[in-house]
Structure 1
Amino acid sequence: MRIRPVKPEDAGSIWNMLEPVFRAGDTYAIDPTISRQDALAYWQSPDHSVFLAEDEAPLGTYYLKANQGGGGAHICNAAFVTAAAARGKGIARAMLNHAMETAKRQGFRAMQFNFVVASNDRAVDLWLRAGFDVVGRLPKAFQLPDGRFVDALVMMRDL
């Protein structure tokens, strides 16, 4: 597997990974009806460094960006999506390791996830195993598609 910066021709592959995750509406605070164009514009925003994990096929994608500007610009934020067929194979962990190394090279001192849906057990477990701490809890901040409200976590670790 290799992880590389995205190219314009990767848009279709990225959309194929984003669409089912965004449509499910249970892990990202994104409108589940978001259009392809808007989803790609969000994921590939000019202030994001965007990467694609691939082998013979696309396996995942992530972006890295400054979490805040000014005095908070030394802390980065990232978001990850793994292709459905590649889940459970260590792709997210590989992308996280790549993101942390890339963030260090870009001069970031810490990584923060602002809104981790607490019911997203796989992500929460991965971040905890990677040394992230839960530094905040937003009670009932996210509404699942079935109408239930669950907490969102703020997670952070030094780089």
Structure 2
Amino acid sequence: MTTDNRGVVIRPATSDDHDAIWTILEPVYRAGETYCIPTDITREDALADWFAAPFSAFVAELDGRILGISHVGRNRPGPASHVANASFATHPDARGRGIARALVTHAKDWARGQGFRAMQFNFVVSTNADAVHSWQKAGFEIVGRLPGAFLHPRLGYVDALVMFNDLTAE
């Protein structure tokens, strides 16, 4: 468990957190604007995916309320197993409260502590400006663009970005 200077507590997620996690994931997945997840995914399938190996799931609490979630783990096995991957989601009430920043800082620190040398986000939807900005502020660089790789429900085909952070350089 870690606590940042704003009082955000990040701890491993447990099955007791499923309701709160689903409260965050469901509207994000149903909107279909940021994740490559079917918009009609069931609660059970979504939670199984969020907690699936090789990822470790975490929650971010502020004032005793879960306002953000992450899962962090190996991006690929074998010769690429030194590169981590992570996903994040926050509750709408978390905006401007440092939850996303705390989650990404924790994810990087956790990954570094597990021996990962880098972290890569494989598929950041380019129209998700808040996420792109947040990850760039956290030291991630856009290293690739996948033209038209994501079918956005309102905007049609939009680009996806590959973002990378060298954890050994910090």
Percent identity over the alignment is 52
* Structure 2 counterpart SS, 1:68: coil
Q: Please state how far the C-alpha of 1:46 moved relative to its aligned partner.
A: 2.8
Aligned residues: CA RMSD: 0.9
* 1:157 counterpart residue number: 165
Normalised by the size of structure 2, how large is the TM-score? 0.91
Q: Please state how far the C-alpha of 1:148 moved relative to its aligned partner.
A: 1.1
Find 2:142's aligned residue among 112, 127, 134. Answer: 134
* 1:17 counterpart residue number: 24
Any residues of structure 2 matched to 1:20-99 within 5 Å, and which? Answer: 20-55=27-62, 56-99=64-107
Q: Please state how far the C-alpha of 1:50 moved relative to its aligned partner.
A: 0.5
Q: Please state how far the C-alpha of 1:47 moved relative to its aligned partner.
A: 1.7
Q: Please state how far the C-alpha of 1:146 moved relative to its aligned partner.
A: 1.9
Q: Do residues 4 (structure 1) and 11 (structure 2) align?
A: yes
Normalised by the size of structure 1, how large is the TM-score? 0.97
* 1:116 counterpart residue number: 124
1:121-150 CA distances to partner (integer Å, 9 max, x unpaired)? 000001111111111100010011125111
- Partners of 1:46 and 1:132 lie apart in 2 by 24
- Partners of 2:94 and 2:143 lie apart in 1 by 30
- The residue type equivalent to 1:85 in the other structure is D
- The residue type equivalent to 2:59 in the other structure is L
- The residue type equivalent to 1:103 in the other structure is A
- Partners of 2:92 and 2:137 lie apart in 1 by 22
Gaps of 5+ in 2: 1-7
- Partners of 1:43 and 1:88 lie apart in 2 by 24
- The residue type equivalent to 2:50 in the other structure is W
Gaps of 5+ in 1: none
Q: Do residues 146 (structure 1) and 128 (structure 2) align?
A: no
- Partners of 1:46 and 1:126 lie apart in 2 by 26
